[in-house]
Amino acid sequence: MERKKFLIIGHPRSGTGFMSALMKRHGYDVGHERLGMDGISSWMFAVNERQVFGDSKLRRGDFEFDFIVMNIRHPLHMISSTYFTENVRERSFTFRNKYIELDGLNQVEMAVKSVLEWYRLIELQRPNFKVCIDKNPEREMYYFLRRFENISLQEPVTKITRKINPRNHTELTFSFIKKNCNKGLVLELENFCYLYGYNIGG
């Protein structure tokens, strides 16, 4: 079993591509859905199965990692991106549906449940660090790395301003989600947002 420093995992459209770029700025070769010298950033490595995007030869169970990092961004943005651009990708949907029961839900509920349950899978793995990519991740990652990996790091890297792996789509509002979701999922979403300090709106 091969050992690497970092495993970075989130939900599809959560910023794993951004995290790969951020780690490279700190001097660590962490590939996006491909294995770098220091690890990988891939939503598919939340489970022990071969990837369906990127390098399809890679499987979580073939590696051990020193650190697990969970990345997240505003849940409404992830849900919107999943609703409009990710759940329409058959390979992505089928991959997640093996581990999350999405059948029998409407399109909005499927997007919400996918985000909530994929993160439950990740949270149960007890990540060493959780980083919100829309809340000064450059600074947060710097202090984590300086404390646990490389005390010689001098200062946070400059802010990454370019969008990485963007997809254009409209944004779902919480009121729209609330109208089109069962009450149990809505409550779970509210709790999830409060847990990670995101304002869900009205």
- State the pLDDT at residue 202: 53
* Helix 107-123 vs helix 183-195: crossing angle, to nearest 10: 40
pLDDT tens-digit profile of 73-118?
A: 999 999 999 999 999 999 999 999 999 999 999 999 999 999 999 9
- The helix (H) or strand (E) run that includes residue 68 is strand 63-72
Name the residue with tokens 């990485």.
Answer: 164
Query: Largest alpha-carbon pair distance within the chain?
Result: 52
Average pLDDT (45-61) is 97
Question: In this structure, what token pair is assigned to residue 84?
Answer: 């409009």
Lowest average pLDDT, out of 16-30, 36-50, 83-97, 144-158, goes to 144-158
Q: What is the share, in percent, of the chain residues with pLDDT greater than 90? A: 89
With cut-offs at 50, 70 and 90, classify the pLDDT of residue 48. Answer: very high
Question: In this structure, what token pair is assigned to residue 167?
Answer: 């997809």
Name the residue with tokens 């370019």.
Answer: 162
Average pLDDT (195-201) is 92
- State the pLDDT at residue 200: 87
What gap in Å lies between CA 39 and CA 121, rounded to an integer? Answer: 20
- pTM for the model: 0.95
Q: Are 186 and 175 in contact (CB under 8 A)?
A: no
Residues 145, 72, 87: CA angle, nearest 5 degrees: 140
* Helix 137-148 vs helix 16-25: crossing angle, to nearest 10: 60
Which of 124, 3, 149, 21 is CA-nearest to residue 70?
124
Alpha-carbon torsion 155, 18, 99, 65, what sign?
negative
